Structure formats: structure tokens, C-alpha cells
Amino acid sequence: MTTPFEARLKAQALGVGFDLAGITTLGPAETTPAFTAWLAQDFHGGMDYLRRGTDLRADTTRPEPGMISAVVVALDYGGRSPSGPVARYARGDDYHRVMWDRLEVLLEWVRAERGPDVRGRAYVDTGPILERDLARRAGLGWFGKNTMLINPTRGSFFFIGSLFLDLPLVPDAPFGTAHCGTCTRCLDACPTQAFVAPGVMDARRCISYLTIEHRGPIAPAKQAAIGEHLYGCDVCQDVCPWNLKFAAPPPADGPLAPRPAFATTDAVALAQEFRSEDPARYPALVRGSAMRRATRDGLRRNAEIVLANRRDRMDPSVPPTDPPA
């Protein structure tokens, strides 16, 4: 019996290095009403790019006309490692490039199978796509109360990407159930109480938003809650029972293996690195890293806050700093 093309395609996705793969048909995004309501409440903060292209996000056939199906993939970056000042996803090389390269390899395989004229486009966290919506429709998981996509065998410490194709493919069944039950650990653990309701985050309160996307000074009232988070935050994932049970170790090698400088649990030492006046130090630290997203000024601001928070806890090893902007 000939193996269906869809099964071979998903197997090939795993073969090029992804950890999950599913197929869905492109079309209207089911979460558009919720996304529109979220924007209307200004929960996106300063991420004005989310307002742009809302029409494109409403229907996945619009960003790249002619596309019919998507292979949606997940790549685990390892949640079973100590928490630290840098969120786990940013401790290795920039995941965008890693994902794009593998999706391009997958596209070349599709062309070898179905002909060189097959059109495809890879998306990884940068296009006008509601990616969680697409991933749920492809059967990869459900939306947790912390807004993360959760897979029943891998938890939530993974990246999502997709390869759009102009091929009609038999889709997988959407993930139709949620398995958080009555658990509210993620909501209760959030240091800044960023969740205004289960599954609804006010990004303006989120440590990841504040330390990465927010430009300019951070309000003094929010600085203490940032604690020692220099870049991003994993707290709502750390406490999730699905991650406690299924999170994988970080890659031991390869592009997503944690860099020693970013895998450290010593927030003070890393913060002092980002305060360095050496003009070569910042480029050397973040070269090829997703941490560039925060900008040099943003990381220096975060470093000052981390050092001030440690000093406020009366740690004599932390040298005085200027008040954070």
C-alpha cells in the first residue's frame, strides 16, 4: 500500500528536525473575534504592528494569494533547565533563522516530490498570521490559560512555524479539547498579574513585553515585579503541570543549544555585562541571538532594573548603580 503524501510530508518534517507536524487547510481564522477584542482593549501595548494587517490575519489565504494548505511545525527548545535572567527560548541562536532554514529544506523536498513549480512560503513569527490558531487547527495542541499552545506530550516550550503551499492537502483533525481543567497555577504565579482572565493577557503588564517589546522607560511601579528577569519570562510555563511532566532538556548541541552567557543563573553578572561601556561588548554578546529584539538601550535599561532590584534586597555584592530610567 502506498503511503499517503501527507503522512510522508509530516514524516519528512520530523526528519529535518522538527518535533511536531500537522496539516491544515487555510481559511478564516477562528480566533479573529478574540484578537480584535484584545486589540480594542489596547492589551497589545506599544506593539502597533499587530494592528497593521488585521485583515490579512483574519484569513490565512490572504497573506500569500494562491496558497491552499499549511504544514504547521513545532520545534522544542527545552524547558527542563534552570530558570534564569534570560527566557529559555532566547538562550541559543536566533530561532527564526533555524526554523526558516529547515522549512526551506522541507519545501525543496515537496518540490522534488510534486514538481519544481510548487509554490511555498515559510512563516516563523514574523508574518500576519495568527499562528496559534493555525497550530490548533493542525492538531498540535490547545490554548492554555496562559495563552500558550500546549501539546499533550511536549508541554509548551516550543516554537511554531508553518510552510504555506499551493497544494490541496488532506488536513489533520483540529485539536478540539482543552486539558487545563480547574488548574490556575499559571494565572496565580504571574509576577505582574498580567492575565486579566483565563486565556487573556494584558501585554502591558507582562514581563516579556516590558523587557523585550516595550520601548523607553518602564514605570517605577512595575520595576520591582520584574525582579531579575533581564530578557523575557518563563514563570507561567515553569509552573504548568504539562511542562513539569513533559518538558524536554535543552539541546546539548546545535544552534539552539544554550550559550553559556545566557544560560547563567547569575543575573547580576549578566546585567553587568549589558551595562558595559565597551562598545564591542554588546555586539559580541547578542550576535546571532534573538536578544537583539530588545535593542541595546532596552537591555541596558533592563540591566539597571535588575541590579537595582538586587540591591534593594540588600545584597552587599551588588555595586551601586544609577537609578534606572
* H helical segments located in 115-266: 131-137, 185-189, 207-208, 220-226, 235-238, 241-246, 260-263
Alpha-carbon distance 232 to 215, whole Å?
Answer: 14
- Cell 551588588 belongs to 318
Alpha-carbon distance 227 to 189, whole Å?
Answer: 14
C-alpha closest to that of 261 among 3, 85, 23: 85
C-alpha closest to that of 136 among 110, 118, 165, 162: 162
Residue 148 in contact with residue 237, Cβ under 8 Å?
yes
Q: Catalytic residue positions?
A: 125
Residue 277 contacts by C-beta under 8 Å, 6 or more apart in sequence? none
C-alpha closest to that of 179 among 85, 273, 246: 246
